[in-house]
Structure formats: C-alpha cells, structure tokens
C-alpha cells in the first residue's frame, strides 16, 4: 500500500466510500501559512456529489474538519489532518457485488490482492478516495498562492465534442457559469444533452480535462527520475478513470517535425519567453516559466445499469450484472477539482524541493 505522495509536501490519504471517514494528512507544509477549514471546504464543494443532474445523486455534505496542524489560524509546521465523515452511504446497494466484480471497475484487482475487500461503493477504490487529493490540493493551492501561482482545470471534451481554444481569463470565468465546468460556453448545451442521453440509456460517457498552471517559475523538476512532467503524469494517471496524460501538444507532437513545433526563445522586457508553448511549460523535465499545460483522458464511468457479462468468483461461474444505484453519467466535471488538486500537490512539492519556498517557515 502506498497512500502517500510527495517528497517534502507529503499527502497521505485514507478512508473508503462507505467507511466511517475519509481524509488526508498533509505533512511538510511550512509554518505560517494562513489556513482555515473554509479554504478546504471551498475546494471540496467543487467535487461534491449530488449538486446537479450530471452527477451521482448521492448526497454528501463532505464537511471538512481539521483536527491538527493549525495554531492561531496558521499552519505551525506540524501535520495537518483533515477529516470528512461519510453520511449518505447505502451499503445495501452493493451486497450483490461481493463476489461479482463490476466490469472495468477496480473490484477484481482489489479482491485478488487483498482478499478482504470492502466492496461497498467500491471501498477505497471509489472515486471518494479523491477527497484526500482535494484536501491536500486545497492546502497546496494556498501555499502556491503565496508565490502567485494559480491553477485552473476545465472540461475540454465530452465524447466527441471538443472545445475551441480560449484565453485563460475567459475559461476561468466560463467554468463557474456551467455545471460541466467547461470553458467554452457555446458547447455546454450539446455536452449536457449528450450526457443526459447516455444517462437515460443507463450508460455513461468519457471526456478530457485540461489543467493549466500559471506563474510557475523556471527551474522546477529534478532530472532524471524526478522530472516535473513525470511527477505530474504519475499523480494524474493515478486518478480513477484516467487512461492518458499529455503535457503540451502530447500525442499531437508525434505527427510533427521539430521545425514545426520547437518552442523558440526570445527576450522581451528582460523576460525570457517562448513564442509558442508546445512543450506545455516543461522541457527536459524542468519548467521553463511558461504555463504548465496538461490534459487527461477520462474513460466513461464504468458503473452502468445496462446488463453486462461478469463472473462469480465464489462459484467460478459466468454471471450477468446490472449496476443499479447512484453513479455519475460523466465524471469529468467533478474530476476537474481533483486534477487541479493533483497538479497543485506536485507543484507545491517541487516548489519546496527546488527551494522556491522555505521548507519550515514561509515567513
């Protein structure tokens, strides 16, 4: 089990979907950072279920309680523990999956590996485990703000519908105006229709989420096995349902020639910039001062009410399965909060690792 991420700014996540509580300990956050429960609650609310037609109807307040690490409303350098108690868990919905793994869900792997698996709501394999990411990410974001680093995640694709490029300011405004957290308002209606159509058929649909970090200084990343893009890829690929990660142009680069996509340098007002940002702000594993841009491919939520083939592990027999209950017809909008947090955690860790933030005391 490895439930800790980070080398200096370390997030240790715990808890399962239907257990008593879920949360995270953040160790390595320097002292003297202003921090309140509201700072974390605000981020948790972004991934909270049950807020609209496009997410699971499970009702959870996801109310954060900080039980350590804060003194006089500031961090004091000791581990910060954030806990969310589970409330609306309907474990009865899940008993039929005890021996029957849901297709494309983690159930089978967990059963094989650990033997004693809390199959209720996917246990710790549930998307609820990302509450730990968001608690860690909220604190990371506060820390990064002290260095004027900002991170934004938005939905750029649902099924085959892809957004057009917009400037950052527009994206930032738009995502707050629609439940899909899409940066391109022109496409929101058709995306919503697509999701509701799949939902009505007991199905779900995938998409793409882009995360952008601005204000990141040049010099983050530790070649050759602690590169910034590598660490971003690790945390992003580790989010449930993610099947692909791109930095900058990503797979588009494969089709190109160097003369087409090399990012050329120039100096303007004593600032070094590149005329394009096809590398997404990271070259050779080290940030170059341009915006960090990463995309993740999110597969359709595997829980669907359509009948599927599975097996009964106890009886060693084939068996059909239909997953009733509450699930997200498209998880992308809620994943934006998680990918934003994931990127924040990695950047906070690397800001500390590269000496841009003092490890003990930000004052």
Q: 195-219 b/e with 16+ CB inside 10 Å = b? A: beebbeeeebbbbbbbbbbeebeee
Three-class secondary structure of residue 20 per DSSP:
coil
In the list 62, 184, 210, 229, the residue contacting its own copies (rule: CB under 8 A) is 229
Residues 289-318 that bind its own copies (CB under 8 A): 297-304, 306, 308-311, 313, 316-318
Q: In this chain, which stretch among 45-53, 54-62, 142-150, 282-290 interacts with its own copies, using CB under 8 A?
A: 282-290
Which parts of 118-137 interact with its own copies (CB under 8 A)? 118, 123-125, 129, 132
Q: Does 52 bind its own copies (CB under 8 A)?
A: no
Q: What binding mask, one character per residue, do residues 80-109 give for its own copies by CB under 8 A, x or -?
A: xx-x-----------------x-xxxxxxx
| Using rule CB under 8 A, residue 212 touches its own copies | no
Residue 61, CA distances (Å) to 80, 183, 193 in order:
21, 26, 27
User: Smallest distance, Å, CB 189 to its own copies?
Assistant: 19
Give the shortest CB-171-to-its own copies separation in angstroms.
Answer: 18
Binding mask of the shown chain, residues 167 to 206, with x at each position contacting its own copies by CB under 8 A: -------------------------------x--x-xxxx
291 φ, ψ (degrees, to nearest 5): -55, 140
User: Does the CA dihedral 154-176-170-37 come out positive or negative?
Assistant: negative
Q: Cβ distance 317 to 311 under 8 Å?
A: yes
Q: How far is 146 from 158, CA to CA, in rounded Å?
A: 34
In whole angstroms, what is the distance from residue 282 CA to residue 298 CA? 23
251 binds its own copies (CB under 8 A): yes
226 binds its own copies (CB under 8 A): yes
- Contact with its own copies (CB under 8 A) among 219, 291, 325, 326: 219
Whether the Cβ atoms of residue 306 and residue 104 lie closer than 8 Å to each other: no
């Amino acid at each position: 089990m490895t439930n800790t991420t980070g080398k200096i700014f370390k997030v240790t996540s715990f808890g399962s979907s239907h257990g008593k509580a879920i949360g995270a300990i953040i160790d390595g956050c320097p002292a003297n950072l202003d921090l309140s429960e509201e700072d974390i609650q605000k981020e948790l609310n972004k991934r909270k279920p049950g807020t609209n037609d496009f997410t699971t109807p499970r009702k959870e307040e996801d109310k954060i309680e900080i039980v350590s690490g804060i003194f006089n409303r500031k961090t004091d350098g000791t581990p910060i523990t954030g806990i969310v108690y589970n409330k609306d868990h309907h474990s009865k919905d899940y008993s039929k999956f005890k021996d029957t793994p849901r297709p494309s869900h983690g159930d089978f792997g967990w059963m094989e590996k650990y033997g004693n698996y809390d199959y209720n709501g996917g246990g710790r394999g549930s998307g609820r485990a990302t509450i730990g990411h968001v608690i860690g990410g909220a604190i990371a974001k506060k820390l990064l703000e002290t260095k004027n680093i900002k991170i934004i995640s938005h939905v750029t694709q649902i099924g085959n519908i892809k957004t057009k490029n917009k400037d950052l300011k527009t994206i930032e405004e738009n995502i707050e105006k629609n439940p899909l957290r899409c940066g391109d308002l022109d496409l929101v209606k058709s995306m919503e229709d697509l999701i509701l159509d799949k939902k009505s058929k007991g199905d779900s649909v995938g998409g793409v989420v882009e995360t952008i970090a601005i204000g990141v200084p040049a010099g983050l990343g530790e070649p050759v096995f602690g590169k910034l893009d590598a660490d971003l890829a690790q945390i992003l690929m580790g989010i449930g349902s993610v099947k692909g990660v791109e930095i900058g142009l990503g797979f588009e680069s494969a089709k190109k020639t160097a003369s087409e996509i090399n990012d050329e340098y120039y100096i303007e007002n004593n600032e070094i910039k590149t005329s394009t940002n096809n590398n997404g702000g990271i070259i050779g594993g080290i940030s170059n001062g341009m915006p960090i841009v990463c995309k993740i491919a999110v597969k359709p939520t595997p829980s669907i009410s359509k009948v599927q083939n599975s097996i009964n592990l106890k009886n060693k027999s084939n068996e059909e399965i239909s997953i009733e209950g509450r699930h997200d017809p498209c998880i992308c909008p809620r994943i934006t909060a998680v990918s934003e947090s994931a990127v924040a955690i990695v950047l906070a860790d690397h800001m500390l690792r590269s000496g841009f933030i003092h490890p003990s005391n930000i004052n």
